Amino acid sequence: MPANSFNNFTEYGIGIGLRVPHYRHILAEKPVVDWFEIISENFMVDGGRPLEVLDKIMEQYRVVQHGVAMYFGSADRLNREHLKKLKRLVKRTKTPWLSDHLCWGSVDGRYTHDLLPMPYTFAAAKATAANIREAQDFLEVPICVENVSSYAEFHASEMTEWEFLSEVVERADCGILLDVNNIYVSSQNHNFDPYAYLNNVPHDRVGQIHIAGHSKFEKYILDTHDHPVLDPVWKLYAHAVKLVGRTATLLEWDDSIPSFEEVHHEALKANQFIEKLENATA
């Protein structure tokens, strides 16, 4: 049964990101995996090997699209050409939902290829929500927006990050991809309580959860996706599933990528928190 109206895929289970170093293993060994998340932009191409691999993966597995370049928070209007390419891919994958970030990253057609933080103001929330609505209407697929890790805060902000996230998703009437690692990273960089964040987002809009590893530097934490998930993040994950119920969960591992088995094993650790929760409520 769906956990909420934005989470119709409660039983999706635990997925991992589809990454190039694992292609050969996955196609040859066909390991049992609940689902794969693909980075949309890697497959928004016109031909060649990427699409061939994608088609082969889709013969065996469920695939969900995750974007990194829609830039809902950009003051510029959404790029229609980008949306058209994305829609072609949506039709190909039949992704049940699609996610991208609550951030900006381009100005006047110049791209930073980064997930830059938003100023948390009502005007920014309104502009962002309008972009999400436009994308949702055009793509005809439910959208979940993901909170990003950040290293800077703006003087202009009028509210907390979780209030901003809530304001945006309510205005856009969309789902949330709750990245608990990003919440942890930002909480350390900006001195806030990550549990306050989790407690105060609209739980009935959470359609997916991300977990990942990060790297600690002397004065800040960087969201590097190159490590196993650290303990404080697992604790946050446990709290998150308590609040939102069983939810499709995905491990991101994008750099220093180990073997497929190691990544998958790390991801499946999430099951113990879901089982614990369900045993407790049974």
Partner 1 sequence: MKRSKRTSSSKSSKTRRLEVRSRAELKALQSLMATAVFRPLTPEEGMQPRWIDGRTTSELASTFIKPNDRLTAFDRLEIYNRVYWFRVLDCLYDDYPGLRAVLGERKFMKMITAYLAKYPSASFTLRNLGSRLEQFLRDEPRWIAPRPELALDMARFEWAQVIAFDDESKPAITPDDILDTRPDKLRLGLQPYLSLLQLNYEVDEFLVAVKKSESAVLRSEASNTFEAMPHSSGREKRPRLPKRKRIHLAVHRHDNDLYYKRLDPEGFVILTALRAGASVEEACLQGLSSTKRTGVDWNEEIKAYFNNWTALGWFCRFSKK
List residues binding partner 1 (CB under 8 A): 41, 44-52, 69, 74-76, 79, 82, 104, 106-114, 116, 119, 121, 123-124, 126-127, 151-156, 189-191, 219-220, 222
Helix (H) or strand (E) holding 169: helix 161-172
Cα three-residue angle 157-83-252, rounded to 5 degrees: 65
Cβ contacts of 88 within 8 Å, gap of 6 or more: 44
Residue with tokens 């996230």: 165
Minimum Å gap between C-beta 154 and partner 1 is: 6
Minimum Å gap between C-beta 95 and partner 1 is: 18
Helix (H) or strand (E) holding 63: strand 63-66
Q: Which lies closer to partner 1 via its Cβ, residue 123 or residue 196?
A: 123
Q: Which lies closer to partner 1 via its Cβ, residue 11 or residue 76?
A: 76
Q: Which lies closer to partner 1 via its Cβ, residue 22 or residue 246?
A: 22
Beta bridge partners of 208: 177
Q: Which lies closer to partner 1 via its Cβ, residue 88 or residue 276?
A: 88
Q: Which lies closer to partner 1 via its Cβ, residue 92 or residue 190?
A: 190
Minimum Å gap between C-beta 242 and partner 1 is: 30
Beta bridge partners of 249: 14, 209
Minimum Å gap between C-beta 228 and partner 1 is: 22
Please measure the distance between the N-terminal and C-terminal CA atoms of the chain and give it in whole angstroms.
15
Minimum Å gap between C-beta 55 and partner 1 is: 11
Beta bridge partners of 106: 111
